[in-house]
Structure 1
Amino acid sequence: MTRTHSLPGPWVEAAGLLLGPLLLLAGMLTRIGQDDFFPGQLAAYARQPGTMTLSYSLFAAGLVLLWPAAVALARRISATHPGWARWGVTLVVLGLFGRVFHAGVSHLAFQMVDALGLEAAQKAVAGTYGAFHVFKAVNVVIMAGWIVLAIGAYRARAFGPDVAGVARCVALALATGLPLGVLKGSTDLPSLLAVGGLVVAMAPLGVSVLRQAGPAPRWWAVALTVAAVPAAFLLGLSG
């Protein structure tokens, strides 16, 4: 009989559950104190390009790692409420696609500061901020996806039937309060609560998944993965 495994697998899912929210939080804390709207974010980059690049890079990496986290939670929900699981994970992942697109536009805007100067970059962003792009269609699901997934988690008791489990469902729903769009500082209190909610909801689940993951990956697989990260980065820098 052929043995089947869940995809992407417990080790990838645990990494997403643990690291995804923490990287988002680290990215936000790195740029805390800066004006949250785009003129202030561009000005902050002009003053501290290294700090702002690190901040936005951490945040973007956290967004990418949230997709296996959402899959892991949806799998738990699907055991008793498959409909909520399907809709929740689909909406959340679509929303993450939109946020990663926004991160790419923010990166381009920062490069405009280097190439054109701060004032010209601010003027260019202001003149094109409302431009059409296909990911405008996912703005609604960016906000709604976490609520649907949180309701599914509550109905399925995915975090447990006790008060702590219910509180983690509420914390997960707080993620809908994270501002969306290009060059958003996202360091006000509601934004910090939104990301803090993701940490509270997902990090304990990540520990649980890790404990149930079974045998650790072979040493050569771990070494190859660790070596592949800087190699891929350097290859990307080469063009």
Structure 2
Amino acid sequence: MSTTSFTFPGRWAEAAGLLLGPALMLTGVLLRADVDGFFPAQLAAVAADPVRMNLSYAAFAAGNVLLWPAVIALVRRIWAAQPRWALWGGLLVLSGLFARAFHAGVSHLAFQLVDVQGVRAAQQAVAASYGAVHVFKALSVAVFFGWIVLAVGAWRAGVLGIVRAVALASTSALPIGVLKGTGPMSVLATLGLCLALVPLGVRVLRDGPPPRWWAYPLTVAVGGAAVLLGLAG
């Protein structure tokens, strides 16, 4: 029985994650940089400027999701020299991405409360339920330590130099939880993520032939269809 090997998720998915994931997260953080970081102010800002706040949280959430192929790209490159660091760093970081996606969903629901019931009612609902227990609380440790483990592995394997490895590790400083605003550590962490991953994304993008001409319109068509289907429910 013959098998055909392939590299998952592929060069283009990896490059998109490495380039767009950090950039979108940084954009999301900067869009709400002038709003107090605690949730009452975040929800008040949603009522006052819903377009900007929705764009901010949507960009951050999209960037977080796009990081999964970026993490796999790092893990594959670390694996050859440092398999244990690659394994544990990848598992921890990917688990942390799931936790942040959950938090983004809760934040989105809080935004809808502002629209439906008003900002005061939304603030009261969030305040009353902010400490509620959920399964993803157990992943807070993964969110914090995962980037550090992955960064050490990338440095030990020679995938990243010491400066970019430290920049990657700084992502652990990104605040965890629901309706988190922007503070100095948020900007530092997302800038570090860009410094660590974007140059690798450029290298991955250049390391091979360009896509066929039809790949561009096909990507636009598939993406548009996905958006329309999602809006249809």
TM-score, structure 1 normalization: 0.94
Identical-residue share of aligned pairs (%)? 62
1:175 and 2:171 are equivalent in the alignment: yes
Indicate which of 214, 222, 233 corresponds to 1:220. 214
Residue 220 of structure 1: CA displacement?
2.5
Q: Which amino acid in 1 is paired with 2:133?
A: F
1:150 and 2:151 are equivalent in the alignment: yes
| 1:1-16 → structure 2 map (5 Å cutoff) | 2-16=3-17
**RMSD in angstroms over aligned alpha carbons?**
1.1
Residue 230 of structure 1: CA displacement?
1.9
| 1:24-63 → structure 2 map (5 Å cutoff) | 24-63=25-64
Deviations 1:66-104 (A, max 9, x none): 111111111111011111101111100000000000000
- Which ranges in structure 1 are unaligned for 5 or more consecutive residues? 160-164
Deviations 1:29-88 (A, max 9, x none): 111100101101000000000110000000000000111111111111101111110111
Indicate which of 206, 223, 229 corresponds to 1:229. 223
Q: Which amino acid in 2 is paired with 1:151?
A: V
Tell me, in whole angstroms, the C-alpha distance in 2 between the residues paired with 1:228 and 1:111: 28
Tell me, in whole angstroms, the C-alpha distance in 2 between the residues paired with 1:229 and 1:235: 10
TM-score, structure 2 normalization: 0.97
Residue 222 of structure 1: CA displacement?
2.8
Residue 157 of structure 1: CA displacement?
1.2
| 1:55-204 → structure 2 map (5 Å cutoff) | 55-159=56-160, 165-185=161-181, 187-204=182-199
Aligned pairs, number = 232
SS at 2:65 equivalent: helix
Residue 2 of structure 1: CA displacement?
4.9
Residue 154 of structure 1: CA displacement?
1.3
- Which ranges in structure 2 are unaligned for 5 or more consecutive residues? none
Q: Which amino acid in 2 is paired with 1:170?
A: V
Q: Which amino acid in 2 is paired with 1:178?
A: L
Deviations 1:93-135 (A, max 9, x none): 0000000000000000000001111111100000000111111
Q: Stretches of 4+ moved more than 6 A in 1?
A: none
Deviations 1:204-225 (A, max 9, x none): 111111111x222323233222
Tell me, in whole angstroms, the C-alpha distance in 2 between the residues paired with 1:226 and 1:73: 27
